[in-house]
């Protein structure tokens, strides 16, 4: 049967290639849709030669005349103030240009938090090195500038810092202790923090089958191959920043706000990023490097050590989640409860939204969804590779497997029985949803029918082999404000410009392929410029979101319409003649 299905599927896909565009719902004619082109063809990466020859320059590799290196000194307490800061030995060390602390740092405005303004990139709204206050263990309290990285590191080790706690504000470093004072956030990424439909606790108590469990996940740290780095320079009141970032435009806007200058006076460049995953955004080290560069009157480079990334860059916070499921005898859900708590600093607004998957995945008669945040003295957390959904689906899917075990029901069949026909919470119709198709395809390909329901019953030599399944989901967020510029040359070339990012996934190659296909050009006749905040505005790089290919399609449609108008005009002229 599977062979017949494969043949039929292939035949339908092949036939669809020849279906006229006008037959497709909502479609418009596209003369190039069937044309053979570079999309999908095996091609060499546009940036391949640069990378294999070592000529692709990352943020810590940009040469600048008169460059000096920065080494940070981190706090060793989580909350309090600097009681004594002795930089005498460091200032006298070989190669040292200056030492910047809160005593001599330029006056700066606190950065605007992400999601509080359309183009804000701040991860914390705390002022950066403006006073003696300490808010987390790892906060940068001094920055040494020297001729070489080794000289800067050595001098930093000579700085003596004595800190004292604040009796009026004891440090909160225990997640368990912080949860006792957890609060309900104002929102979860703009969504209500709590959703209640019916009386879920009563439905759970009356259910024929119940699972009620607590799941915990630990803190996760960003550890991209490329360390967080920036090379910065001032020319008058104009700031240039070569940064390891996935948000060049937002970084430029926020730096301008911090330094009290116009956005046009800040240029952020980031053509190559060695891994982002949500963590390559604006942290204190870029702001401090720019402040130190202005103070010293020379270009400055800062590269966080691996330890420094752990101490000064946030990641995913720990979570404690309760998932309670109540099922009827037929396998449908009477109650779905997903609640819990995440850790967060009170100086940012980025709670790990682990309850989002439960709002959209499964049908239930009642829902009780909500989460709180526990304020701690910690480095600000941020987005990290599938934020919220990754840890949230872990808990929800684990509970579903436990419910299936309690019911003696196949876990795949359980999920089939609770598949919704509309969004379970909002009630809106799905624009598309093919989860049941994915279940069927996965079951066939992995041989689900051979799965034993008894744990530990399958062996391959000394190995116990298990087989399981889970559902993953991730939202699509639209971020307005993206733009692209395409210039066509009389020599048959095209230049695409956009302040987008290349984090290793081949952005420049893919965009060149789209332009070449849409405009019927050779791949080598297309050039893509990106990673520069002076180019047309791009959005934060995430969720595989790049907008230039959309602009290319719009340009192509414009050219087709223009050519059609010209042909119509010429035809009318011929008729009139």
Q: So what's the pLDDT on residue 1? A: 47
pLDDT number for residue 553: 59
In angstroms, rounded to a whole number, what is the distance separating the alpha carbons of residues 486 and 212?
A: 56
How far apart CA 517 and CA 171 sit, in angstroms, is: 58
Distance CA 375, CA 79 (A): 13
pLDDT at 483: 81
Collapsed DSSP state (helix, strand, coil) of residue 47: coil
Neighbours of 434 (CB within 10 A): 10
pLDDT, residue 544, reads: 45
Is-above-0.85 flag for pTM? yes
**Got the DSSP string for 1-46?**
-HHHHHHHHHHHHHHHTTS-GGGSTT----TTTTS--STTS----T
Instruction: Select from 286, 218, 305, 214 the least CA-distant residue to 248.
Output: 286
DSSP 457: -
DSSP state of 452: -
DSSP 163-184: EE--TTS-----HHHHHTT-B-
State residue 280's pLDDT score.
Answer: 96
pLDDT at 174: 98
Three-state SS at 289: helix
Nearest to 509 by CA among 560, 539, 548, 480: 548
Per-residue pLDDT of the chain (577 residues; tens, 9 = 90+): 455 655 555 555 555 554 555 555 555 555 545 455 788 888 999 999 999 999 999 999 999 999 999 999 999 999 999 999 999 999 999 999 999 999 999 999 999 999 888 889 999 999 999 999 999 999 999 999 999 999 999 999 999 999 999 999 999 999 999 999 999 999 998 899 999 999 999 999 999 999 999 999 999 999 999 999 999 999 999 999 999 999 999 999 999 999 999 999 999 999 999 999 999 999 999 999 999 999 999 999 999 999 999 999 999 999 999 999 999 999 999 999 999 999 999 999 889 999 999 999 999 999 999 999 999 999 999 999 889 999 999 999 999 999 999 999 999 999 999 999 999 999 999 999 999 999 999 999 999 998 988 888 888 999 999 899 999 998 877 666 678 888 999 999 999 999 988 888 888 898 899 889 888 899 999 999 999 999 998 655 544 445 555 565 556 666 666 666 666 666 666 655 5
Contact 366, 198 (CB under 8 A): yes
Tell me how long the chain is.
577
Gap between the Cα atoms of 121 and 124, Å rounded: 9
Pairing of strands 229-235, 238-243: antiparallel
Reading the block at residue 150, the tokens are: 């080794």
Give the pLDDT score at 6: 57
> Cα separation of 117 and 254, whole Å?
10
Three-point CA angle 570, 576, 577, nearest 5°: 90
Identify whether the C-beta of residue 526 lies closer than 8 Å to the C-beta of residue 547.
no
Q: Domains in the chain, ordered, with CATH?
A: 1-60+481-577 (3.30.365), 61-167+223-312 (3.90.1170.50), 175-220+316-430 (3.30.365.10)
List the structure tokens of 128: 């950066």
Q: Does an H or E element contain 275, and which?
A: none
Give dist(CA 123, CA 137) in Å, integer. Answer: 16
Q: With 0-12 CB in 10 A as exposed, 13-18 as middle and 19+ as buried, what is 552?
A: buried
Contacting residues for 228 by C-beta, under 8 A, at least 6 apart: 244, 279, 280, 283, 285, 303, 304, 308, 309, 312, 313
pLDDT of residue 344: 95
Token readout for 394 is 């872990």
DSSP-derived pairing of the beta strands 485-488 and 366-375: unpaired
Neighbours of 147 (CB within 10 A): 15
**List of long-range contacts for 434-437, beta carbons under 8 Å, 24+ apart:** 435/471
Place of tokens 């008058």: 236
Q: Report the alpha-carbon distance of residue 15 to residue 23 in Å, rounded.
A: 13
Rounded Cα–Cα distance for residues 155 and 324 (Å): 55
How far is it, in rounded angstroms, from Cα 475 to Cα 468?
Answer: 24
Residue 313: per-residue pLDDT: 98
Report the SS3 class of residue 101. coil
């Amino acid at each position: 049967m599977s062979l017949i299905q494969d043949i039929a599927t292939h035949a339908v896909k092949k036939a669809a290639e020849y279906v006229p565009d006008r037959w497709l719902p909502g479609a418009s004619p596209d003369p190039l849709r069937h044309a053979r082109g570079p999309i999908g063809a095996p091609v060499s990466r546009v940036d391949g030669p640069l990378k294999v020859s070592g000529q692709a320059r990352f943020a810590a590799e940009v040469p600048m005349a008169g460059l000096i290196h920065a080494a940070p000194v981190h706090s060793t307490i989580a909350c309090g103030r600097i009681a004594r800061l002795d930089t005498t030995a460091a200032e006298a060390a070989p190669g040292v240009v200056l030492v910047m602390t809160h005593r001599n740092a330029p006056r700066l405005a606190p950065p605007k938090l992400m999601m509080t303004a359309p183009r804000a990139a701040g991860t914390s709204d705390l002022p950066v090195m403006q006073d003696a206050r300490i808010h987390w263990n790892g906060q940068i309290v001094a920055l040494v500038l020297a001729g070489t990285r080794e000289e800067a590191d050595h001098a930093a080790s000579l700085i003596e810092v004595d800190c004292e706690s604040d009796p009026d504000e004891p440090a909160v470093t225990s997640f368990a202790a912080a949860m006792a004072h957890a609060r309900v956030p104002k929102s979860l990424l703009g969504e209500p923090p709590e959703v209640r439909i019916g009386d879920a606790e009563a439905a759970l108590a009356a259910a024929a089958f119940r699972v009620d469990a607590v799941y915990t996940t630990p803190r996760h740290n960003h550890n991209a191959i490329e360390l967080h780095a920036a090379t910065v320079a001032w020319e008058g009141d104009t700031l240039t920043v070569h940064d390891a970032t996935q948000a060049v435009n937002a970084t430029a806007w926020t730096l301008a706000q911090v330094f009290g200058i116009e956005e046009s006076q800040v240029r952020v460049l980031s053509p190559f990023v060695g891994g982002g995953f949500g963590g390559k955004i604006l942290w204190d080290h870029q702001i401090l490097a720019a402040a130190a560069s202005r103070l010293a009157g020379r270009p400055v480079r800062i590269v966080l050590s691996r330890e420094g990334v752990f101490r000064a860059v946030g990641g995913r916070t720990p979570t404690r989640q309760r998932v309670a499921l109540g099922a009827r005898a037929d396998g449908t859900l009477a109650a779905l409860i997903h609640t819990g708590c995440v850790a967060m600093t009170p100086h940012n607004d980025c709670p790990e939204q682990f309850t989002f998957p439960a709002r959209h995945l499964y049908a239930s008669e009642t829902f009780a969804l909500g989460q709180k945040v526990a304020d701690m003295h910690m480095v600000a957390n941020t987005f990290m590779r599938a934020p919220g959904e990754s840890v949230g689906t872990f808990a929800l899917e684990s509970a579903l497997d436990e419910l299936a075990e309690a019911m003696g029901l196949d876990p795949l069949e359980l999920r089939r029985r609770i598949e919704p026909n509309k969004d379970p919470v909002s009630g809106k119709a799905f624009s598309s949803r093919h989860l049941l198709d994915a279940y069927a395809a996965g079951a066939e390909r992995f041989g689900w029918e051979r799965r034993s329901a008894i744990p530990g019953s399958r062996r391959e030599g000394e190995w116990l082999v298990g087989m399981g399944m889970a559902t993953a989901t991730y939202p699509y967020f639209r971020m307005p404000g993206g733009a692209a510029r395409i210039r066509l040359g009389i020599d048959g070339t095209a230049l695409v410009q956009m302040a987008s990012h290349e984090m290793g996934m081949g952005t420049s190659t893919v965009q060149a392929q789209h332009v070449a296909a849409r405009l019927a050009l050779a791949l080598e006749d297309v050039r893509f410029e990106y990673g520069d905040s002076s180019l047309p505005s791009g959005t934060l790089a995430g969720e595989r979101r790049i907008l230039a290919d959309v602009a290319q399609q719009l340009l192509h449609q414009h050219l087709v319409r223009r050519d059609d108008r010209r042909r119509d005009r010429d035809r009318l002229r011929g008729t009139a003649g």
